[in-house]
Amino acid sequence: MTEQQPYDLVKRYPHFELRRYPAHVLAEVQVHAAFDRAANEAFRSLFNYISGSNKARQKLSMTAPVLQENASSEEMVMTAPVLQSGPVPRGEVEDYVVAFVLPPGVTVDSAPVPDEPRVKVREVPGSLTAVARFSGSGSATAFQRHSVALLEALQLAGLSPAGAPRFARFDPPFKPWFLRHNEVVIDVEEP
């Protein structure tokens, strides 16, 4: 089973969870693709990196989720699942950042240097984050629908978003779509 990014559950709301994620390190790649293709475009480069395609020839564990977000967001964050942010029509080509969260204990200084220049390693500070889980398709339409619902739920809970929604995927593409675990993730301001 794939290791998942650690977090502390702060509070459960009817339509989302409030979680505290510790600081972590991402390996990320920027791609120019349609929302539904961005993770596939970046996956090989990221997988090769954690499989030893780096200066130290060091292998790193795969973690979930894989994150995807719009490249125009203020910061690119890599975790597993794969996150993708910014509601975008299915076929529209945009710049996205797709990231793997590196295992706990890996720092920017201790992470192996990637062989491929497209792969970037970056530290992400800890954050208070609202997360809405959903199953099924990880399409742009599903992400947009769940992003809007999470933003509305945050407003009702009196919480303010502190960034754009990101998309997190937890399952491999060969898993049947109706069994897949996905999440919309939005950092929120501290109350």
pLDDT in tens, 23-81: 999 999 999 999 999 999 999 999 999 999 999 999 999 999 999 999 885 443 333 34
Q: For the segment 84-132, what is each residue's pLDDT rounded down to a tens digit? A: 444 444 467 999 999 999 999 999 999 999 999 999 999 999 999 999 9
- pLDDT for 77 equals 36
Whole-number Å distance between alpha carbons of 71 and 22: 22
Residue ranges of alpha helices (H) inside 106-170 are 140-157
**pTM of structure:** 0.87
* 1-191 classified as CATH 3.40.718.10: no
Helix, strand, coil % (nearest 5) of the chain? 20, 35, 45
